[in-house]
Amino acid sequence: MNVAYHLNKLGASAALISAVGADTAGTDLLNFLKHKGVSAEMVQVDAQHQTSEVIATMNEEHEVSYTILTDVAWDYISREMIKVQAVEDTDAFVYGSLSARSPQSREALLYLLKHAKYKVFDVNLRAPHFDANLILQLMQHADLLKVNSAELQSIAEWIGILPRQEADTVSKIFSLYHIQEIIVTKGASGASLYTRDKSLHAPAFPVEVQDTIGSGDSFLAAFLAMKLKGAEPEAALQTAVAMGAFITSKAGACPDYDQEEFDSFRNSRK
């Protein structure tokens, strides 16, 4: 949802595939999406399961930990209720590991991955809702892989890379999978973009952190928005780093802003 929100903010039409319960929280979420211009046409309403809840806890270093409730509506996404043509027609299909934690939603995701033409895997590890085999299976479908440094270290261990240097791990991933691009986000150290023939690095933007919730999602949205507009990889990566910093300077994952405010933030730190 966060990625779709920021894509819409940046001028790229985005829709969400998910499920909510037939409860007040579900109604509130659907109203929020409508108000923000994010299509909820493929968000299913499940009368048997409640809308998801996540408890976020932040420490003094602004690092966030999450308690994600299980057996909720989006664990029961039905593939029969999804318009496959919409997935086939889209320019980018973004997915993560959480949506595959339950058998029914995992079946729906794997089915849709067969129909998407450009697949973006934001690994987004959230213990205990994943295992190595699941992540490696989902990597088999990806065209673009986005990970943070810690997630890349985990993948390195799973595929047997020692010592686990970033460049070595990236090279091994390229040799094992058909992935064409890998983004590694590194917090205060910026981010790197790897393709099969080159690597790019962008430093972090200096910023006073409010919270880090959703910063990675806004980063990905900005990168994709620029890529879909035909921007050069360097410009897409720099814009993504700026957006991630911009969102950490605000409270919440989906703060209100416009393009002019973001441009002003980015230009003030050049």
pLDDT at 185: 96
What digits encode the pLDDT tens for the residues 213-229? 889 999 999 999 999 99
pLDDT at 208: 87
pLDDT at 140: 98
Task: With cut-offs at 50, 70 and 90, classify the pLDDT of residue 270.
Answer: low
Backbone φ/ψ region at 259: left (φ over 0), alpha (ψ -120 to 50), beta: alpha
Listed by start position, the domains of the chain span 2-268
Lowest mean pLDDT among 91-95, 155-159, 166-170, 209-213: 209-213
What digits encode the pLDDT tens for the residues 236-258? 999 999 999 999 999 888 999 99
Query: What's domain 2-268's architecture?
Result: 3-Layer(aba) Sandwich (3.40)
Percentage above 90 pLDDT, the chain: 83
Task: With cut-offs at 50, 70 and 90, classify the pLDDT of residue 163.
Answer: confident
Percentage above 70 pLDDT, the chain: 99
Pairing state between β 39-46 and 64-68: unpaired
- pLDDT above 80 for 61: no
Query: Which of helix, strand or coil describes residue 57?
Result: strand
Burial label, 24 (beta-carbon count in 10 A; 0-12, 13-18, 19+): exposed
